[in-house]
Amino acid sequence: MDVPGLAEGGQVPELRRLRPELDLFLMVDDEGAGIEGRAELLDRADVSPGQLYRQLRSAVARRARTPFADTLRDYVYSAKDAWHTPGHSGGDSLRDSPWVADFYQLMGEHIFNTDLSVSVQALDSLLEPHSVIQEAQELAAEAFGARHTFFVTNGTSTANKVIVQHLLGSGGKVILDQACHKSVHHAVILFGAEPVYLPASVNRRYGMYGPVPRVAIDAALEAHPDARLLVLTSCTYDGFRYDLAPIIAAAHQRGIKVLIDEAWYAHGRAHPAFRPNALDSGADYVTQSTHKMLSAFSQASMIHVADPDFDEHRFRENLNMHTSTSPQYAMIASLDVARKQVSLEGYSQLQRCLGIAARLREGIERSGVFRVLALEDMLPESLAEDGIRLDPLKLSVDVSASGMSAREVQLALFEDYGIQIEKVTHNTFTVLVTLGATQSKVLRLLNALQKLAARGPVAGASEASDVPVSALPPLSDFAVLPRTAFFGASREQALDCEAGGINEELVGAVSADQVVPYPPGIPALNPGQVITREVASYLLAQYRSGNGIELHGLVERGGRPYLRISLVEQGLTPS
């Protein structure tokens, strides 16, 4: 297409929007006036093929660089003697041991060779980067569309805490989804925040907790203009994505910063099918578990910053409070390499993943027994107009027609066919199509599901697939701040009474702990919340259900469930 056509049609910005990772070169006959959007301009009259080749090669080489991973590799291959930590010294302490050499052989020599010390100055410092780590983070910021990017080696759980601490300090009001990851709830406790919880939507038939209704978000923003932070998860474990742009704009109109937990959506910028992501939509802070869907090692995450008011020095002080002074260098290298991959081949890899997901959907539907849920199956009708989307790489499969519970299907897949799936509810299991998905894995999964479908209900099969999940009880009021309740004086109180019902002494008491039914992992109680009759009845019913639900935060004493209740005087001020 000729350049005037590009200029008049506004297609340069559109190309940038669809494929922001590409280097764009335009051959022009004049000065390129009227061309909007960043592009490299080349004069058609005087550029030679050799010069063009060199410029293209230079652009690709820049994105292909992995400054930290390259330096780590070169250091390992230089075979330096180590008189520093770690104590295994490149695996030398294990390699010839009659007792633990098998572990060395299992892990391979380079997992030990790359496990180095901060004494190796050529590898920079994660706490105060100034060379190869700094350059790797700058390349990541460019690839993921951020102003600044920071590598995190202890997961998005820590990344979320860092941002809450940075923005709220000691205290401050935060609006957050009830279904946020527990790390956000933990941050509320640690930093003395005053939470305003947004009730999660629920699909009782499939045991899924979905997005917060837009009307509830708008109401909270209107009612709490003094809030300093809004926290939402997009996309969720089940693949729900908000229409973020209007939500973020509404928060910004009130001076409220926005953190989007994109732990499950690090791939969201690399292909038009997944955009817009949180940074496209104007989020100030985004956390991503680079390891969940991309090619980084477990625990390897990134913090992306687009906040125009960002104070980098203060942020780094907060980050360093949560960062080990002995980070795992292989993990940092994996972040560098994952960025390179998504920058150079993210589009083609995700196009392949979309094809695999489509093949899985078609094959699962052909079983006649198992069924991949569509957005309309999963989303409550009340959210139909909220612009919610579904990540096509997260497949929720309904097992109800098989006569087995999802846990029984999960066990059969693992024990009989050597297949491990991501998660289950009572009647669904989830398959993640990551960059590591292959056509051979598709064949094996579809073959296994066809055999399970042909087998039919097994003797003694569970009827749990027909039992709807209990809806979470209504959110109760906070009597004290979560931090005050958690760290203050407390005692344990039985959830039940001798007669078998709920312990009436609990009703009106204040919880000192977070109590989380798992699955789905949504808190039914947080520290500082009043224990209502509905909450107590719900927890006791879940405890006695026998349906495999774990209740994190309850403790058993003599075969009975106990809660820790706060003895702190009530009031929403720091103690």
pLDDT tens per residue across span 27-50: 776 665 555 556 677 777 777 788
Taken in order 156, 162, 168, 169, the sign of the CA dihedral is positive
Is the separation of the CB atoms in 126 and 327 below 8 Å?
A: yes
pLDDT tens per residue across span 382-417: 898 999 999 999 999 999 999 999 999 999 999 999
CA 374/CA 396 separation, integer angstroms: 8
Report the candidate in 229, 234, 240 with the shortest Cα–Cα distance to residue 196.
229
Domain that holds residue 515: 482-566
Same domain, 106 and 133: no
Q: Is the per-residue pLDDT at 257 higher than 90?
A: yes
Same domain, 353 and 337: no
Residue 48 has what pLDDT? 79
> What value does the CA radius of gyration of the chain take, rounded to a whole number of Å?
26
Residue 475 lies in a domain: no
Q: Is the per-residue pLDDT at 313 higher than 70?
A: yes
Residue 572 has what pLDDT? 59
Residue 575 lies in a domain: no
Residue 36 has what pLDDT? 55
Same domain, 385 and 237: no
Q: At what angle do helices 329-366 and 132-144 cross, to 10 degrees?
A: 30
Is the separation of the CB atoms in 450 and 440 below 8 Å?
A: no
Q: How many domains does the chain have?
A: 5
Residue 344 has what pLDDT? 96
* CA 13 and chain centroid, separation: 29
For the purposes of burial, counting CB atoms within 10 Å of the CB of 81, is it exposed (0-12), middle (13-18) or buried (19 or more)? exposed
Residue 1 has what pLDDT? 41
Instruction: Return the number of other C-beta atoms located less than 10 Å from residue 377's C-beta.
Output: 15
Domain closes at, from 275, 309, 342: 342
Same domain, 180 and 290: yes
Is the separation of the CB atoms in 468 and 462 below 8 Å?
A: no
* CA 92 and chain centroid, separation: 37
Range among 10-24, 56-70, 195-209, 428-442 with highest mean pLDDT value: 428-442
Q: Which tops the pLDDT comparison, 75 or 382?
A: 75
Residue 162 has what pLDDT? 98
CA 180/CA 182 separation, integer angstroms: 6
Residue 476 lies in a domain: no
Report the candidate in 432, 465, 540 with the shortest Cα–Cα distance to residue 495.
540
pTM greater than 0.85: yes
Q: Is the per-residue pLDDT at 462 higher than 60?
A: no
Q: What are phi and psi of 201, to 5 degrees?
A: -75, 160
Q: Is the per-residue pLDDT at 305 higher than 90?
A: yes
Same domain, 556 and 513: yes
CA 395/CA 239 separation, integer angstroms: 8
Q: Which two tokens stand for residue 2?
A: 């000729």
What are the distances in angstroms from CA 264 to CA 154, 241, 462?
A: 16, 10, 31
pLDDT tens per residue across span 522-574: 788 999 999 999 999 999 998 988 766 789 999 999 989 999 999 998 665 65
Strand partners, 478: 529
Same domain, 457 and 555: no
pLDDT tens per residue across span 165-224: 999 988 899 999 988 998 999 999 999 999 999 988 888 888 888 899 999 999 999 999
Same domain, 372 and 250: no
Here the CATH number for the domain that contains residue 539 is: 3.90.100.10
Here the CATH number for the domain that contains residue 235 is: 3.40.640.10
Same domain, 35 and 96: no
Domain closes at, from 435, 466, 497: 466
What are the distances in angstroms from CA 283 to CA 175, 277, 312, 401?
A: 15, 9, 17, 41
Mean pLDDT, residues 62-72:
94
Q: What are phi and psi of 252, to 5 degrees?
A: -65, -30
Q: Is the per-residue pLDDT at 466 higher than 70?
A: no
Q: Is the per-residue pLDDT at 251 higher than 60?
A: yes
Domain closes at, from 299, 316, 342: 342
Same domain, 75 and 59: no
CA 254/CA 240 separation, integer angstroms: 26
Mean pLDDT, residues 415-425:
93
Q: Is the per-residue pLDDT at 461 higher than 90?
A: no
Q: Where are the beta strands (DSSP E) in 373-436?
A: 389-390, 394-398, 423-424, 428-432
Residue 572 lies in a domain: no
Residue 7 has what pLDDT? 52
Q: Is the per-residue pLDDT at 460 higher than 60?
A: no
Report the candidate in 286, 257, 250, 252 with the shortest Cα–Cα distance to residue 269.
286
Residue 41 lies in a domain: yes
Q: Is the per-residue pLDDT at 58 higher than 90?
A: no
Mean pLDDT, residues 332-341:
98
pLDDT tens per residue across span 97-154: 999 999 999 999 999 999 998 889 999 999 999 999 999 999 999 999 999 999 999 9
Rounded to the nearest integer, the mean pLDDT of the chain is: 90
Confidence class for position 2, pLDDT limits 50, 70, 90: very low
Q: Is the per-residue pLDDT at 297 higher than 60?
A: yes
CA 175/CA 476 separation, integer angstroms: 15
Sorted by sequence, the CB contacts under 8 Å of residue 357 that are 6+ apart come out as 392, 393, 395, 433
Report the candidate in 207, 174, 213 with the shortest Cα–Cα distance to residue 193.
174
Residue position matching structure tokens 């690090």: 266
Sorted by sequence, the CB contacts under 8 Å of residue 490 that are 6+ apart come out as 512, 564, 565, 566, 567, 568
| CA neighbours closer than 13 Å in the CB half-sphere of residue 255 | 6
Residues composing the chain: 575
Q: Which tops the pLDDT comparison, 460 or 382?
A: 382
Same domain, 133 and 243: yes
Residue 474 lies in a domain: no
CA 456/CA 222 separation, integer angstroms: 53
Alpha helix ranges (H) inside 322-468: 329-366, 375-378, 406-417, 439-455
Same domain, 283 and 224: yes
Is the separation of the CB atoms in 551 and 539 below 8 Å?
A: yes
Is the separation of the CB atoms in 179 and 264 below 8 Å?
A: no
Residue 85 lies in a domain: yes
| H-helix or E-strand spanning residue 555 | strand 555-557
Residue 324 has what pLDDT? 94
Here the CATH number for the domain that contains residue 359 is: 3.90.1150.10
CA 512/CA 575 separation, integer angstroms: 14
Residue position matching structure tokens 């297949």: 419
Does residue 195 have a cis peptide bond before it, meaning omega lies within 30 degrees of 0? no
Q: Is the per-residue pLDDT at 82 higher than 80?
A: yes
Instruction: Return the number of other C-beta atoms located less than 10 Å from residue 416's C-beta.
Output: 12
Same domain, 428 and 490: no
Sorted by sequence, the CB contacts under 8 Å of residue 251 that are 6+ apart come out as 221, 230, 257, 258
DSSP letters for 338-379: HHHHHHHHHHHHHHHHHHHHHHHHHHHHHTSS-EEPPHHHHS
Residue 563 has what pLDDT? 95
Mean pLDDT, residues 326-334:
96
pLDDT tens per residue across span 437-449: 999 999 999 999 9
Q: Is the per-residue pLDDT at 345 higher than 90?
A: yes
| CA neighbours closer than 13 Å in the CB half-sphere of residue 425 | 28
Residue 289 lies in a domain: yes
Cβ density class 492-521: b for 16+ within 10 Å, e for less: ebbbbeeeeebbeebeebbbbbbbbbebbe
CA 80/CA 68 separation, integer angstroms: 18
